[in-house]
Every structure is written in structure tokens, then in C-alpha cells.
């Protein structure tokens, strides 16, 4: 079977030889079951593991779940006739099992010759209740909807190769400060922008990407959203007021890239403050939204207040406000571009904290990468540019903090400029 490439698969392969349990979490229908199938195929073909030594268990199957729940040790033991051989137990939809963390700890300690690889759709179920039992016994990974590179790989391998060459240079500039030459002219940026626009309208869920027509994509997004409400929100979390929940998501969808106003959310949903805080936490934990916190060093002039709101997937966001219009006729294209940049910056999380900067005078820079050693401001200017133009806020930040490098994300313009000792790169958004 031909699968869409997932970057996470290569990361997981590195840990297969170790004993620790591998937990793969992420939103519903992000491709976790398919990832297990790909892993199973790799174990069999590349690692030469016999088929009978790779056991797949789906806890959506009530009979399987019931037997495992009643007697996990003997149920697992029934699949491993030879203690001298190594086995791989792949457990899908683990969140359906109560006390899964405690059971996995018991099995990990009981069977030295089994590698457990577990998936779960709701991080509230898979991580919160397992973490305390699996300290030192598990590695955790997140499988999100497709990144832009994965999307390109599924759509057009040639464009994916062109993207990857420049994307690697951009990443090295961000992470290491390694300079690079930019193309002039760039003959590929228009082609990449066409794919990028589709990605920003319909998102990165695998089934959506497979769909041929726009109508089919919309129906799939509707089903993903409905399943999320029914299974994660109502069944697992016992939140029965789905009307309020939907309304909150729609309100947040209309505010991407903006500061959250808890007062407005409370008033508009006819809820109360603690309830809104709880629902926002659920939306984060179940991979619908991201909250970005402010960066502050000067506590007098820089705000230490509300976060900004972004979405994990563009298709779900656009579905919630029923807006699948082309970017050229939308009023939110700039905010969608900003949301895209945040999502694609996920590669920096091991090296930098990610925040935004805003002062009491309302000077604002979209993203600040920061660690003990350095600060990198990133401004998103989704517009046609003819020259290296800096906004006042970014100029102010550079003067105040004197970073070694800064980035302006543009629609289709490459450029370079120096302000004092700061090297500023202007980079088209499709290469991030």
C-alpha cells in the first residue's frame, strides 16, 4: 500500500530498539492508525521481524478492550509463545481503556521482551492519566495534521524537493545563524503559493488531502469536527453543552492572531470565567487551538497579560466559521499567514521558547524566539514587497534588544538588510 510520508515515522524508528514504551498522541484522524500500519510494514520488511511477532490491537474493538481490561497480563501473554523472542505490541486508540497508564506500567515491568507502541487521540486521556505511572518508562510523540512539507510531498514531489532545499537553509539561519544566498529571481514561488493557498483553506488532515473535490473536503471536515465533539468532548469529558462549545470555537476562529478577551468570550457564550478557562484548556489539550504567551523583559512597558489565539489546523478553523473562500477575497488572509508561521515554527521548540512581543504603547512583533543566549524576532508581512521594508515595531525591537538576526516573512519577496549589527532576512512564507 502507498502511504503519505510522515516525518514522525523516521523519528520513531530511532527509538524502536529501546525498551521504553512509545506513545503517539494527537488529534483524531491525524493518521495515527496509518502510522502504526507503516511502522508494522517497516518492522517486517526492513527489520525482518516476523508477522506473528507484531501484534496489532485496536481498543475500539469492544471485545479486545474487554479482555485486555479484565486481565491484561494473561491477554498479552497469549500472543507471545516464546519468551526468548522479541515482540511488538501495537495498541491503537488506547484512550478507551480505563487506567491505561497503570496497566501499561504493569505490563512493561512484567514483559522484558515486548516493545509496546501505543496511540491515543485525546491528550487529556492519554497523557494526563498515564504520565505519573510511566515516568522513565515511555517516550511520547505528537502526530499532528500534515505540515506544509508533508502536504507538498502528497501533492507534488518536485515542488516538495524545491521547497525542502530552501527550507533547510532557512532553518539553519534560524537555528544556527548560518547565512545563505537567496534566488533572484525566484521562478518557483508562484507555484508554491498555489499549493500553500489550498493548504491554508482546507488544512492538513490526511483524508481531506486525499479528497478530490472541494465539496468532499468540506464534508470530511464536518465529519472530523462532529466526531471530535461526540467522542472526545461528550463521551470522554462529559461536556454536554455542545452549542456553547461550538460557539466558543467559532468566536476563537474569528480572533486568530489576536489577544484573547476573556470578558468578551464569557459574555458572548453566556458562560462564566472559570468555565471559559476550562474549555480553553480542553481545546488546547485536544489539539484544536494553541495559545501564545507574551515575551517580557521590561516589566514596566511590556504587557504580561492575555495570550494570543491560533489554530492547529486551518480546515477545522475555516469550517467552524464556514469560510472556504479564496485568500484574495478574504479579510483574514494576513492572520491565516501568521497562524501558518506559528505552526511551521514548531521545529524550534527544542532550542527556543516561542512568544510574541507587545508593549503598553501597542508596538508588537508577531513572534519572538528566545533562549538564554539569544533573541530572534520574526515579523509576518503577507503583502507584495518591492524593497526591504521594516515596520516601526520591529525596528523598535531591534533597537531595544539588538538581536544578531531577525526575519521578515513576506508573500513572495527575498531580501536582506542590516540595522546596526542585526542581519534581517526577508523570506517568502512558502519556504518556512
Q: Examine residue 206 and state whether it is found in any structural domain, yes or no.
A: yes
Considering just the CA atoms, what is the radius of gyration of the chain in Å? 23
Confidence of residue 234 (pLDDT cuts 50, 70, 90): confident
Evaluate the CA torsion angle 327, 332, 337, 341 in order and state its sign.
Answer: negative
Helix (H) or strand (E) holding 199: helix 189-202
132 and 188 in a single domain? The answer is no
Q: Are 309 and 257 in contact (CB under 8 A)?
A: yes
Together in a domain, 160 and 284: yes
> Which of 73-87, 119-133, 314-328, 345-359 is least confident?
119-133
Position 2 in a domain = no
Closest CA to 12 of 2, 1, 26, 29: 26
Quick one: pLDDT at residue 129?
64
Q: Is 220 helix (H, G, I), strand (E, B) or coil?
A: helix
With 90 as the cut, is the pLDDT of residue 236 above it? no
Q: Are 39 and 10 in contact (CB under 8 A)?
A: no
Q: What's the rounded Cα separation, in Å, for the pair 273 and 379?
A: 32
What average pLDDT does range 275-302 have in this prediction?
86
Distance CA 295, CA 292 (A): 9
What's the pTM value of the predicted model, to 2 decimals? 0.94
Q: Which among 273, 274, 279 has a CA at the least distance from the CA of 242?
A: 279
Phi, psi (rounded to 5 degrees) for 75: -65, -45
Q: Looking at residue 131, what is its pLDDT?
A: 72
Say yes or no to pLDDT of 21 above 90: yes
Residue 133 lies in a domain: yes
Assign residue 67 the CATH number of its domain. 3.40.50.300
Do 115 and 12 form a contact (C-beta atoms < 8 A)? no
Question: Would residue 88 count as lying in a domain?
Answer: yes
Q: Say if 19 falls within a structural domain.
A: yes
Count the domains in the chain: 2
Q: Confirm whether 1 is domain-assigned.
A: no
Same domain as 160, residue 96: no
Q: What is the DSSP string of 43-59?
A: HHHTS---GGGEEEEET
Residues paired with residue 345 on neighbouring β-strands, in sequence order = none
Which residues have a Cβ under 8 Å from the Cβ of 61 and sit 6 or more positions away?
A: none
Comparing CA positions, the residue from 357, 355, 332, 361 lying closest to residue 342 is: 355
* Residues 122 and 202 both lie in one domain: no
Residue 353 backbone phi and psi in degrees, to 5: -80, 150
Q: Where do the DSSP E strands lie in 230-325? A: 289-292, 308-311
Show which of 126, 143, 160 is a domain's final residue: 143
Cα distances from 150 to residues 147, 170, 203, 312, 347, in angstroms, run 5, 17, 12, 15, 14
Would you say residue 318 has pLDDT above 80?
A: yes
* 418 and 304 within one domain: yes
Task: Verify that 102 and 167 share a domain, yes or no.
Answer: no
Distance of CA 202 to the CA centre of its chain: 15
Domain shared by 82 and 127, yes or no = yes
- The parent domain of residue 36 ranges over 7-143
DSSP state of 295: P
Quick check: 70 pLDDT over 70?
Answer: yes
Give mean pLDDT, residues 193-212. 97
| CA neighbor of 18 nearest in space, from 103, 109, 93, 112 | 112
240 part of a folded domain: yes
* 161 shares a domain with 80: no
Ramachandran bin of 115, using left for φ above 0, alpha for ψ from -120 to 50, beta for the remaining angles: beta
Phi and psi for 349 in degrees, rounded to 5? -65, -20
Given pLDDT bands bounded at 50, 70 and 90, which one contains residue 299? Answer: low
What is the C-alpha separation between 352 and 41, in angstroms, rounded?
35
- Claim to verify: residue 54 and residue 163 sit in the same structural domain: no
**Strand partners for 376:** 369
- Number of helices (H), then strands (E), in the chain: 17, 13
Band of pLDDT at residue 231, cut at 50, 70 and 90: confident
* DSSP 8-state class, residue 292: E
Per cent of the chain over pLDDT 90 is 84
pLDDT mean over 166-174 = 97
Tens-place pLDDT, residues 113-141 = 999 999 987 665 656 567 778 888 999 99
Boundary of a domain, candidates 110, 143, 176: 143
d(CA 222, CA 211): 13
The partner residues of 377 in beta bridges, in order of sequence, read 368
User: What pLDDT, in 10s, does the model give residues 328-350?
Assistant: 999 999 999 999 999 999 999 99
Q: Residue 71 is inside which H or E element, if any? A: none
In this structure, is residue 189 part of a structural domain? yes
* Same domain, residue pair 250 and 286: yes
Residue 1 above 70 pLDDT? no
Question: Which domain-ending residue is among 143, 162, 194?
Answer: 143
Half-sphere exposure for 140 (CA within 13 Å, toward CB): 14
Whether residue 132 sits in one domain with residue 42: yes
Same-domain status, 225 and 334? yes
Between 32-41, 125-134, 176-185, 379-388, the lowest mean confidence (pLDDT) is in: 125-134
Within its chain, how far is the Cα of 341 from the centroid?
Answer: 12
Amino acid at each position: 500500500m502507498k502511504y503519505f510520508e510522515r516525518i514522525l515515522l523516521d523519528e520513531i524508528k530511532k527509538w524502536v530498539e529501546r525498551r521504553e514504551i512509545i506513545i503517539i498522541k494527537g488529534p483524531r484522524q491525524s493518521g495515527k492508525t496509518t502510522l502504526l500500519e507503516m511502522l508494522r510494514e517497516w518492522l517486517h520488511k526492513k527489520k525482518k521481524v516476523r508477522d506473528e511477532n507484531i501484534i496489532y490491537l485496536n481498543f475500539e474493538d469492544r471485545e479486545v478492550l474487554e479482555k485486555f481490561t479484565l486481565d491484561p497480563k494473561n491477554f498479552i501473554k497469549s500472543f507471545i509463545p516464546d519468551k526468548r523472542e522479541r515482540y511488538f505490541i501495537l495498541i491503537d486508540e488506547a484512550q478507551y481503556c480505563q487506567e491505561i497508564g497503570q496497566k501499561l506500567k504493569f505490563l512493561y515491568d512484567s514483559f522484558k521482551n515486548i516493545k509496546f507502541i501505543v496511540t491515543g487521540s485525546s491528550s487529556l486521556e492519554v497523557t494526563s492519566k498515564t504520565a505519573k505511572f510511566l515516568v522513565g518508562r515511555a517516550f511520547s510523540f505528537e502526530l499532528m495534521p500534515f505540515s506544509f512539507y508533508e502536504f507538498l510531498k502528497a501533492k507534488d514531489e518536485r515542488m516538495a524537493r524545491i521547497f525542502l532545499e530552501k527550507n533547510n537553509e532557512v532553518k539553519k539561519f534560524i537555528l544556527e545563524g548560518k547565512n545563505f544566498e537567496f534566488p533572484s529571481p525566484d521562478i518557483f514561488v508562484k507555484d508554491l503559493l498555489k499549493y500553500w493557498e489550498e493548504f491554508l483553506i482546507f488544512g492538513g488532515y490526511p483524508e481531506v488531502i486525499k479528497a478530490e473535490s472541494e465539496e468532499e473536503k468540506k464534508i470530511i471536515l464536518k465529519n472530523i469536527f462532529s466526531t471530535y465533539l461526540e467522542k472526545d468532548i461528550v463521551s470522554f469529558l462529559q461536556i454536554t453543552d455542545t452549542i456553547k462549545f461550538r460557539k466558543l470555537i467559532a468566536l476563537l476562529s474569528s480572533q486568530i492572531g489576536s489577544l484573547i478577551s476573556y470578558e468578551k468570550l464569557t459574555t458572548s457564550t453566556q458562560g462564566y470565567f472559570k468555565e471559559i478557562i476550562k474549555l480553553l484548556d480542553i481545546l488546547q489539550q485536544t489539539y484544536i487551538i494553541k495559545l501564545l504567551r507574551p515575551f517580557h523583559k521590561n516589566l514596566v512597558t511590556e504587557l504580561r497579560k492575555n495570550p494570543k489565539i491560533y489554530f492547529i489546523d486551518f480546515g477545522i478553523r475555516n469550517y467552524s466559521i464556514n469560510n472556504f473562500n479564496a485568500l484574495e477575497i478574504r479579510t483574514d488572509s494576513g492572520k491565516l499567514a501568521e497562524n501558518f508561521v506559528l505552526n511551521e515554527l514548531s521545529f524550534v521548540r527544542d532550542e527556543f521558547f516561542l512568544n510574541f512581543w507587545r508593549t503598553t504603547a501597542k508596538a508588537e512583533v508577531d513572534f519572538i524566539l528566545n533562549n538564554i543566549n539569544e533573541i530572534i524576532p520574526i515579523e509576518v508581512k503577507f503583502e507584495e514587497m518591492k524593497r526591504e521594508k521594516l515596520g516601526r515595531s520591529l525596528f523598535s525591537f531591534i533597537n531595544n534588544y539588538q538581536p544578531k538576526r531577525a526575519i521578515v516573512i513576506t508573500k513572495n519577496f527575498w531580501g536582506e538588510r542590516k540595522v546596526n549589527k542585526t542581519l534581517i532576512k526577508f523570506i517568502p512564507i512558502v519556504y518556512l
